[in-house]
Amino acid sequence: MNQAIAYRRPAAAPAKPLRKRSVHQLLILGFLIVLCTPITIAGYVGGVLITPYRVYVMILFPYMLFKFFTDKSIKPGPADLLVFVYSAWTIMCVVNNIEDGVQRAGQYFLETVCAYLLARVTIRSMDDLLHVVKLIFYFSLVAFILAVPEAITRKKFIMDTTSAMTGMHYAQYAEGADVRLGMRRPQAFFSNTILYGLFCASCIALVWYTAKDKMTRWFRFAILAAATFFSLSSGPLLAMNVQLLMIFGEYVTRGVKGRVPITLTLGAIATVVMNVTTNSGIVGFIVNHLTFNSASAFNRILIWNWGVFNIQQHPIFGLDADNWVRAPFMKPSCDNYWIVITMLGGLPALSFLILAILTTMWKFAKIDTRRLPPIYSQFRTGWFFAYIAFAFTGFSVMFFGGIQPLFFFMLGIGGSAIPIYQRMLRNSQRAGVGTSALA
């Protein structure tokens, strides 16, 4: 007599985060160190500026490229291809449009593709992701500690000391132009006070959502908020305010079904209404109400309008962004990252980069994290808010120095997180409850 014997496997314990830190963490630490090394610690070789960051990523590039295409756990995808195509197209345009284009193109490659690849190659687990957030916070803390005496005494100790040692000068504001609220705008070890503030503001949401407890969350948030404020700059304040608005919105809408599409729909409607009913539109609202100094809003709107004019004249292959057409009274600097990259590589470059960002966000967002530990959902929310705010800030700031590499490194963090989440989800599914029958 045949007898079917049914059995149920014992319930497995809930999946736990992968606690395996990659051996590549030292490479990320080195990346942040050279990213935060003062521009005064550099030198010229044959007319080419050699910085610690450029040397570091040039040395690592062959290894990163090899690992990217041979390591099966990395899983290259459409977003990676779009980043490579974006950089290649922009480099081609820069070489064609600018007199010293080869040098500029090489610099651009090191600040985009290399920074992106470093994140994609070195981050392999949730523990790696959390460790990167901690590292960025610790570097921000050190920068803040250095910034406070700078702001109060109005002396830039780090930059002045290193400049005296190497003979390399750094760009400075005109006398008194960098004083606000009675304090001098500090820069710690960054090339510019705006870069200092943006670095400190870049991971506020990530720190908020990944902190292990409330005390740690509020302490680290207070440090980053104070550090951002001490930059006394509109761009960093915009990055912080946008993240705070999104954190608040996420908190008050918890439990609301379909809150993401509802929020996107309301945002689109608000954008259309402001563009139709106001003279400055959404760009004017951003620079007028979410920044430190609304007096500079008029100049930002002028940059936007003249930048769009230049793009319309050179829509495909771009132009020399250093010699863009503008009003006679306007400065040559263009404080709008999205305008600058479009002037450099035309609308194709802008399209490739936006598609790379949206593809990464789409693949990351569609992963079902309900079967994963809460930290996975929390990290994803923090990354989304931090990166959206970073990108938003590009409408009022030009990402130069160490900020453009950080922007692409953070995009690479999102790309690296996707296979980590997918692998963890598969492990969770295999550990689930199942039934079977034996005849």
How do residues 261-276 score in pLDDT, each as one tens digit? Answer: 777 676 667 666 666 6
Predicted confidence (pLDDT) at residue 344 exceeds the cutoff of 80? yes
pLDDT digits (tens, 9 = 90+) for 194-208: 899 999 999 999 999
pLDDT band at 284 (very low <50, low <70, confident <90, very high): low
pLDDT band at 324 (very low <50, low <70, confident <90, very high): very high
Q: What pLDDT score does 370 carry?
A: 87
Nearest Cα to Cα of residue 210 among 201, 199, 221: 221
Contacts of 277 (CB under 8 A, 6+ apart): none
pLDDT digits (tens, 9 = 90+) for 13-56: 444 444 455 567 899 999 999 999 998 898 888 778 889 999 99
Lowest mean pLDDT among 58-67, 114-123, 161-170, 221-230: 161-170
Calculate mean pLDDT across residues 280-293. Answer: 57
- Residue 437: inside a domain, yes or no? no
- Residue 4: inside a domain, yes or no? no
As given in the structure block, the two tokens for residue 115 are: 């920074």
**Based on the structure, what is the number of domains in the chain?**
1
- Residue 162: inside a domain, yes or no? yes
CB of 407 within 8 A of CB of 203? no
Contacts of 426 (CB under 8 A, 6+ apart): none
pTM assigned to the model: 0.88
- Residue 439: inside a domain, yes or no? no
Lowest mean pLDDT among 111-120, 234-243, 376-385: 234-243
Domain of 270 in residue numbering reads as 16-425
- Residue 354: inside a domain, yes or no? yes
- Residue 320: inside a domain, yes or no? yes
Q: What pLDDT score does 417 carry?
A: 95
Predicted confidence (pLDDT) at residue 6 exceeds the cutoff of 90? no
Residues 335 and 306: their CA atoms lie apart, in Å, by 12
Calculate mean pLDDT across residues 243-270. Answer: 79
Predicted confidence (pLDDT) at residue 9 exceeds the cutoff of 60? no
The count of C-alpha atoms lying within 13 angstroms of the C-alpha of 297, restricted to the half-sphere facing its C-beta, is 18
- Residue 357: inside a domain, yes or no? yes
CB of 385 within 8 A of CB of 273? no
- Residue 436: inside a domain, yes or no? no
